[in-house]
Amino acid sequence: MIADLQCVVLDCSDPAELAAFYQSLLGGTVNQQDKRWALGDGWATLHTPSGLVLAFQRAAEYQPPLWADPARPQQFHLDFGVADLDRAQEQVLARGATTLDDGSDGRSWRIYADPAGHPFCLVRH
C-alpha cells in the first residue's frame, strides 16, 4: 500500500452550498475542525458518519460536467447505496438534485446531478 484515501475533492462554484447538499444526503458535520485542511471561503469539508470526508473547492470559472457529452465529461462520479430507489429519489430531488437518467429500463441504479452538476448514482443494495 502506498497511501490512504483521505477525502474526495469536488470543484464547484459554491463550496458551502454543495457541502450542505451532501450533508442533507449523508449526514455528518460541515467544516469540522481537522488539522489536514484549512477552512475558508473557497473550501468546505463534510465529515460523514461513515468516516468518508468530502471536500468542496471553489473553482473560479467552474464548468459542470455534461452527462454523456464528451466535450465536458463527468470525470468521476459517486455511488450511494440505498434500500429504496423511489424513496431516495424523492429525497435527493427535494434537496436540489436533478435527474440525468431515471433508470426506466428497470436496472438497479439511477443517475442524478448535484446542484453543481457533478453526476452521482443511487444504487439499490
**All structural domains of the chain:** 8-58 (3.30.720), 78-124 (3.10.180.10)
Alpha-carbon distance 36 to 39, whole Å?
10
- Lowest-pLDDT range of 32-36, 50-54, 81-85: 32-36
pLDDT digits (tens, 9 = 90+) for 15-47: 999 999 999 999 999 999 988 777 888 999 999
Is the model's pLDDT at 115 over the cut of 90?
yes
Q: What pLDDT was estimated at residue 2? A: 62
Share of the chain above pLDDT 90, in %: 58
Mean pLDDT across the chain: 90
Alpha-carbon distance 117 to 13, whole Å?
10
